[in-house]
Structure 1
Amino acid sequence: MIDGMPAAEVTAVSDVGPQLRRALLACWTEVSNAGGAVGFVPPVTEDDVEPVLDALLGRVAQGREQLVVVKVGGELAGWAVLSLSVSPLRRHWATVLRVQVHPARQGQGLGRVLMTGVHDAARALGLEMLHLTVRGGYGLEGFYAGLGYREFGRMPGAIRLGPGDDREEVHLYAVL
């Protein structure tokens, strides 16, 4: 236990049961509604997020993606996805998607714990490099730089949050 917080446990998950599915859905919805850059623009409901989550979990079940979760006290605190390539030319790296920590757990260092677990899961899969993107204007580049990621490009206007609100998509990579 550190600073009164139970130890965080990070695991790679390939079999998602109903309880974990419900927790993932609630987390993704709450992170989105708190303004998290995880694929939606608030406000969203679980009905909005559910089909996207189910498609993701289908890819996890097929082995095309690897789910990595962080739990504190046995409860889901956050999660991320390693999206694996089917191309033989790209099997040495993956894209990290949907990195999120539940709003009630933010500010406790769990983002760093989660990403360390993502790196460990990637190494266990034999991966050598990771790629991710962040939504411009959120200041996330510094967080990822602290984890060894380097920027290699920006796509202006790639993300449209609403009429007249286009953002850059910032591309980052890390060598494991």
Structure 2
Amino acid sequence: MVQYSQTSWQEYTLANMLETMRYAPMNVTIGKSPVIHYTLPQAIEAGEIVRYTVMVGFHKISWTGRISAINNGKIMVRLDKGPFRGFNASHMFTDEGNLTACYDEFSFQGFNEFPEEAFAKVMDSASIVYAIASRKDTRDALAAIESKKQTQGFNAIDQSATAG
């Protein structure tokens, strides 16, 4: 079994943090150390999917987890699909004034694609990146695309109304 935990503080309000974590980062800077990022679902409710990725250089390991429970603001997740026989996670975000504290814990069991020892070594040097600015870029790009679609739809309606 491989276990991982990280606590960090982000310079964003709790509401801003939770809203932004619902968008995948547009890009993540990869260095020598492995990085982990995850994306929360639009609705944080039991049964919803959380998407996870570990980047190790150019190698990417992705999986999904399903929210099993939410208890006192703690989001508990179990494996949905991925290269493990078992995966559990908990994520907790707490308001600390102008900061949001992020507490993340992962537990991995049974590896299908690689030796557990190799994955344990990767996780020993890994860190979670929240990539808030990159997630906001994704949100802005998606909003621009949606706005363009709506504008094109209105133009099509306007053209059909005047054609004849």
TM over 0.5: no
Larger radius of gyration: 2
Which has the larger strand fraction?
A: 2
Higher relative contact order (CA 8 A, sep 6+): 2
TM-score (norm 1): 0.27
